[in-house]
Each structure stands twice: as C-alpha cells, then as structure tokens.
Amino acid sequence: MVVWLMPCFVLYFCPSQVKDVLFEPVRKTQDAMFFINNPDDMWVPCGPKQPGAVQISMQELAAKGLAKKVCVDASK
C-alpha cells in the first residue's frame, strides 16, 4: 500500500517542501549580518562571536563586487 500512496504524496506535497529546503541556505545567506573571509578568499556567513567575523550584509558585499565570492557552504 505504501508504494501506491507514495507517488500521490510526492506530487502534491513535495514541490513546496523541496523548494523550501533548496532555498533555506540562500535565505540564511541573504539574511546574514556577519561573514568571515575563509582561506579560499570566499565570504561565508557566520555568527557575530566567531573570530574574524566582519559585520557586513550580502548586499554590501555585492556592492563591493564580491558577490561571486559569497559561499553558502562553510566547507567550500
């Protein structure tokens, strides 16, 4: 029975859930007020208490021409 219910579940509920999950890192990055410049010269969102944190928004980084250097994932 679960096999028959699964496609219905995927069709009706997953698109909005998938969209929310996919855009969560983007929203966190857009809302971030502190970034750190990692060793790869990428700007990564962080907390205000992290050593080396700089108080700057993503919009300010973009205005300085650093939009391509903003990284959502701290491991990159």
Q: Where are the domains of the chain?
A: 2-69
pLDDT surpassing 80 at residue 24: no
Structure-model confidence comparison of residues 42 and 1, the more confident one: 42
Q: Which of 61, 68, 65, 5 is nearest to 36 (CA)?
A: 61
37-48: pLDDT as tens digits: 999 999 999 999
Q: Which of 28, 48, 53 is nearest to 38 (CA)?
A: 53
DSSP state of 69: G
The two structure tokens encoding residue 66:
């650093």
With tokens 């496609």, the residue in question is: 7
CB 42, CB 34: distance < 8 Å? no
DSSP state of 37: E
